[in-house]
Amino acid sequence: MKLSIIIPSYNEEGNVEEIYKSINEIFKNINYEIIYVDDGSKDDTYKVLKGIYNKDKKHVRVINFSRNFGKDAAIYAGLSHAKGEYISIIDADMEQDPKYLLEMVEFLDNNEDYDQVAMVIKARKSGSFIKRRFSKLFYKVINKLSDVKFIEDASDFRMFRSYVKDAILALPEKNRFSKGIFNWIGFNTKIMEYDVGKRLSGESKFNTKISIKYALEGIISYSTKPLRLATILGLLTSLAGFIYLIYVIIKTIVVGIDSPGFATIVCLILFIGGIQLICIGILGEYMSKTFIESKNRPVYLSRVNLGIDDDKDLL
């Protein structure tokens, strides 16, 4: 098998067949497989995928999740079943044109020193101005906080050799942040630019709320500096409190007991209380990740698998 193409799909009933047609046209002379991962879609995505599978069982595989586990789980599921010499990940909405897959295959064929190709958006035009600015801010912040360096606007759209896939699957964590994993494993990476196409059907699943949640997941997963920040805030607050205590003692000795000061006390209590809550919140985020990992639950559960050899359907 030359190429495995993993396509995470969530509510993409209007797109999955179009991307299949495009891939099938491009790779007429290459032995490939398409692994669709239906991430618990609420529309007819699985029904359409089943039709595609019945039409082309030679090339199409389908993993149907029991519920929505998220894109990172879908990527993990696809990687777990990929058999190709090269493995690629591409979105189902056609914003990432399958024509770039052929360019990546040709590059890896002709450049044995490179282990993977990562596609970077040439010019981010989609989304609101605020969302684009937030994206830039996210990369600046996470690169300041994390020891792993993130390539700005590098998406999950990429292709790598089979041993890179093995390295990714060797990481056992349940809270999987794929952008971080791709960078953490290293390997020689070629950066290639691509133009974002127009979504054929439906709406983007990454709204502002989900984007912020995803960014926080990345920061918590790949940096311990927020914990250090909590310690620094605690030390600075304690130092400020000690200085203020010395000031009160000196003022009491020199001036005498000064009964007014209710507003000052309230402000100090609110300030210190706020610092404490922030620190507890930061600790809570890390503890929640540890709690989830300790359960050792599977990354995903599949309801129905089509064309997968080690089929373990729930039905």
User: Which own/partner pairs from 13-16 qualify as long-range (CB within 8 Å, at least 24 positions apart)?
Assistant: 13/41, 13/43, 13/44, 13/45, 13/47, 13/48, 13/201, 13/202, 14/200, 14/201, 14/202, 15/92, 15/93, 15/94, 15/199, 15/200, 15/201, 15/202, 16/45, 16/48, 16/49, 16/52, 16/92
pLDDT score at 315: 40
pLDDT score at 71: 86
pLDDT score at 79: 92
Rg (CA), the chain: 25
pLDDT score at 153: 66
pLDDT tens track, the chain, 315 positions: 889 999 999 888 888 888 888 898 888 888 899 999 998 888 889 999 999 999 888 889 999 998 888 888 899 999 989 998 999 999 888 888 888 898 899 999 999 899 989 888 876 655 555 666 666 676 676 666 666 676 666 778 889 999 999 998 888 877 777 777 888 888 888 888 888 777 766 666 555 566 666 666 666 666 667 767 777 777 777 777 677 767 766 766 766 655 566 556 766 776 777 777 777 777 777 777 776 667 677 777 888 888 886 444 434
Instruction: Please enumerate in sequence order all residues whose Cβ is within 8 A of that of 286, keeping only pairs 6 or more positions apart, or say none.
Output: 220, 224, 226, 227
Instruction: Please enumerate in sequence order all residues whose Cβ is within 8 A of that of 100, keeping only pairs 6 or more positions apart, or say none.
Output: 119, 157, 192, 194
Q: Residue 18 and residue 14: Cα distance in Å, rounded?
A: 8
pTM, 2 dp? 0.72
pLDDT score at 35: 93
